[in-house]
Amino acid sequence: MLSALLSHDRPASRLLAALLVAIVVGLAFAPFLFPGAKSLSVAAKILVFIVLVASYDLLLGYTGIVSFAHTMFFGIGAYGVAIALARLGPGWGAVALGVALALALSLVLSFVIGLFSLRVRAIFYAMITLAVAAAFQTLASQLSDLTGGEDGLSFKVPEALTPGFSLADAPFLGVSLDGRLLSYYLLFFAAAALFLVMLRIVNSPFGRVLQAIRENDFRAEALGYRTVVYRTLSNVLGAGFATLAGALLALWLRYNGPDTSLSFEIMLDILLMVVIGGMGTMYGAVVGATLFILAQSYLQDLMRIAGAALGDLPAAGGFLAALLSPDRWLLWLGVLFVLSVYYFPAGIVGRLRARAAAAKP
């Protein structure tokens, strides 16, 4: 049953399976295991980015397409929900309309962008997508009447997803059964469903063809597969899932702006998560997104604690405390990334699977 749910794509490593189980359990029971607004927001962000990173890995890891327009589709999903709820009011009909229109726009744009792969390859295609994404971000910032401009849009969500909505008067296991909890579990089950669908896609005959194109597109073409069609479909699918991830983020935040869903920094974060987790492995999206966002969210706090502890030491203590200043957290995040790439060149998932394969007699 579990094997069928995972599309017969088993982790193939006991350590990886244990890590994935720990992540899933932690996310499933995050409101009860890690109480507090910040921890719940971090868990919600991990869920959104698991879907977003997996959708990008569908392009980069499985098809070999380097695109910098992925955050554009992410932003379209977020803006679709934000604009619909801001204009039509906090109803489920507005949510459905916003998601539908955002999906339609993303699918059309991704199809048009995917057609560029007919004539250009590799770095030239990446530059085209970068230019399109930059143009869209500028457009979103300037259309202030529609998108709120640089200030973004704040909006109300359906009542069932608001903190004021209550399912019970008494808390359960110390957690209030309110709309915020419902909102989190809507996010959790939606992210789980989208991830399983992507896992099914990459393990289907269609997914095998994508991997063949990644390895050698000329050979795949010689075998009778129309590589342009498959590349375009991969681009469209990746854009669709990224759009849905953006819609989930908007529903959780109840706000969306250019820096929230369209910035190039998000694109760089996605690339880092894919590399850390392992390209060409859906499980890499789970591991990479979880580890990166945890480091991004709590590294400053850990450095502040370590700096305070070292500050009382004589001599070198002051130097170490300055080195571990929370203001230098990006430096240490970069160091952690370099070390992860050095010791896990195939990503964490790839390394664990290789070790498990080497250990077999």
Q: Which domains does the chain have, with CATH numbers?
A: 2-359 (1.10.3470)
End-to-end CA distance of the chain: 28
Distance from C-alpha of 269 to C-alpha of 56, rounded to nearest angstrom: 11
The pLDDT value recorded for residue 27 is 95
The pLDDT value recorded for residue 311 is 61
The torsion of the CA quartet 216, 218, 219, 221, rounded to 10 degrees, works out to 120
Distance from C-alpha of 346 to C-alpha of 352, rounded to nearest angstrom: 9
Tell me the longest C-alpha to C-alpha distance in the chain: 71
How would you write the pLDDT of the chain (361 residues) with one tens digit per residue? 777 777 777 888 889 999 999 999 999 999 988 888 889 999 999 999 999 999 999 998 888 888 888 999 999 999 999 999 999 988 899 999 999 999 999 999 999 887 776 566 667 788 888 888 888 988 888 888 888 888 889 999 998 888 887 777 777 777 778 888 899 999 999 999 999 999 999 999 998 999 998 888 888 888 888 888 888 899 999 999 999 999 999 999 999 988 888 888 899 899 989 989 988 889 999 999 999 999 888 877 777 776 666 666 665 556 666 666 666 777 777 777 788 777 777 888 988 888 888 877 6
> Could you identify the residue written with the tokens 């350590």?
15
Q: Are 194 and 244 in contact (CB under 8 A)?
A: yes
The pLDDT value recorded for residue 192 is 95
Distance from C-alpha of 21 to C-alpha of 74, rounded to nearest angstrom: 27
Query: In the numeric block, which tokens belong to residue 171?
Result: 């808390």
